[in-house]
Amino acid sequence: MKIPFNKPWFAGNEIQHIVNAAYSGHISGNGNYTKKCHTLFEERYGIKKCFLTTSCTDAFEMAALLIDFKPGDEVIMPSFTFVSTANPFILRGATIRFADSLTDHPNIDVDCIESLINQKTRAIVVVHYAGVAVDMDKVMALATKHNLIVIEDAAHSVESFYKGKALGSIGHFGAFSFHETKNISTGEGGMLAINDPAYIKRAEIIWEKGTDRAAFFRGEVDKYGWVDIGSSFLPSDMIAGVLFGQMQQVDSIQQKRVEIWNRYHQLLLPLQQKGLLKTPRIPAYAVNNGHLFYLQMPDEESRNNMIDYLNNNGVQAVFHYLPLHKSKFFASRHDGRDLPNADHFASTLLRLPLFYELPISFVDSISNKVISYFQADHSYKYDLPG
Ligand SMILES: *Cc1c(COP(=O)(O)O)cnc(C)c1O
């Protein structure tokens, strides 16, 4: 049996909440569980207003609609990210300026953002890779100076913080994912966090297909109709029930994930000290939410060899993003700048299994397989430093 990279886990009462929603007679969107989840996220993470969506991609689409991009408007974001960070802005006709990663972390190199800002720039998107915070003070200062909107891709970042503030609660917008591969999961699911109150009223309309239905149900208007553009972003209340069930157990989920992460780190740090690979760096201002544990190998060949070696030894290890500036869709649209750090992480990074039910004894055996890779005789394929 191969140890899978990820395995979804129902933490407790999810099924009961689905049943409750079904018996309540309200299984479409914006029901009881949706409202409970909104309140829970707003209170726990200090978010002004939450809107549950069917995915993080959808949360981004809502944000892109709210920003009202005009064709030619520009948005700056890292190249080392998932397509969902970029697609919603392309759909609105915006132009993307991809930025490079830091040399020692996959996150956007905040110091290179200012050189990409011009008269057409409207927004900056940051991705907190692996749930590790981007230096948000710097990002928000740039945004204030140039009058830009900040969107945090918090897909990896439930229960992660920057200087005590929850990720997703700092920028004008934050977008969460509850996809099967994330810490808190409903299969497919997401949430738009709005921290600038100026956007809340319109968000409610865009969320409800461009109608003032929410105001109608509050008794503020006597009939509801088509008042703006919008789409169908609401998940069923049964999905919200699953999210509520997961969040009831968020502390134990997080504790377990961080325990697994720390064990990997403890066992694999000696390889870093020998110069054989690198383990993730967590800046002092950030918190580790145990979203994913990655390694950086010296080059692409050794990375691919390590993935093959682990897969041949019963461990599903996987690489991560291909840089978007070089993607089939975007390459011809890119402005030609080299983004060497994004390329570097794309070619050298690999992720190890990390999920709630992974026993610590398996973490130990996976780590031992990583260690034994360096003792196996394929290591002649490249020069080991030291
Ligand atoms: C998973 C992910 C998304 C997309 O999330 P969905 O809920 O699947 O739409 C967006 N950005 C990043 C960085 C992700 O990892």
- For the Cβ of 190 lying below 6 angstroms from any atom of ligand 1, the answer is yes
Higher-pLDDT residue of 386, 29 = 29
Per residue in 118-133, pLDDT (tens digit) is: 999 999 999 999 999 9
Whether ligand 1 lies within 6 angstroms of the CB of 179 is answered as yes
> What pLDDT shows up at residue 384?
52
| pLDDT, position 214 | 87
Does pLDDT of 383 surpass 70? no
Closest Cα to atom 10, ligand 1: which residue? Answer: 84
* pLDDT of 386: 44
Atom from ligand 1 closest to the CA of residue 189? 7
How much distance in Å is there from the Cα of 82 to the middle of ligand 1? 6
155 lines ligand 1 (CB under 6 A): yes
Question: 84 C-alpha vs ligand 1 centroid, how far in Å?
Answer: 6
Token pair in block for residue 260:
């697994």
Tokens of 188: 């497919």
Q: Is the CB of 185 under 6 A from ligand 1?
A: no
Site to probe by mutation for ligand 1, drawn from 6, 52, 62, 84 as the one with most ligand atoms within 8 Å of Cβ, is 84
**Ligand 1 centroid, distance to 269 Cα (angstroms):** 29
Confidence at residue 53, expressed as pLDDT on a 0 to 100 scale: 98
pLDDT at 217 over 70: yes
Say how many Å lie between the CA of residue 168 and the centre of ligand 1.
14
Whole-angstrom distance, CA of residue 345 vs CA of residue 325: 14
Which atom of ligand 1 approaches the CA of 84 most closely?
10
Q: How far is the CA of 56 from the centre of ligand 1 (A)?
A: 5
pLDDT digits (tens, 9 = 90+) for 140-170: 999 999 999 999 999 999 999 999 999 999 9
- Per-residue pLDDT tens digits for 314-369: 999 999 999 999 999 999 999 999 999 999 999 999 999 999 999 999 999 999 99
Residue 381 has pLDDT above 90, yes or no: no
Is 211 a residue whose pLDDT tops 90?
yes
Over residues 234-245, the mean pLDDT reads 98
Mean pLDDT of 203-224: 92
Give me the pLDDT at residue 198, please. Answer: 98
Tell which atom from ligand 1 comes closest to the C-alpha of 181.
1
Q: Is the pLDDT of residue 385 over 80?
A: no
Report residue 70's pLDDT band, with 50, 70 and 90 as the boundaries: confident
pLDDT band at 1 (very low <50, low <70, confident <90, very high): confident
71 — pLDDT class (breaks 50, 70, 90) = confident
- Ligand 1 within 6 A of CB of 134: no
**Residue 240 pLDDT exceeds 60:** yes
- Whether the per-residue pLDDT at 382 is higher than 60: the answer is no
Answer whether 291 contacts ligand 1 (Cβ < 6 A).
Answer: no
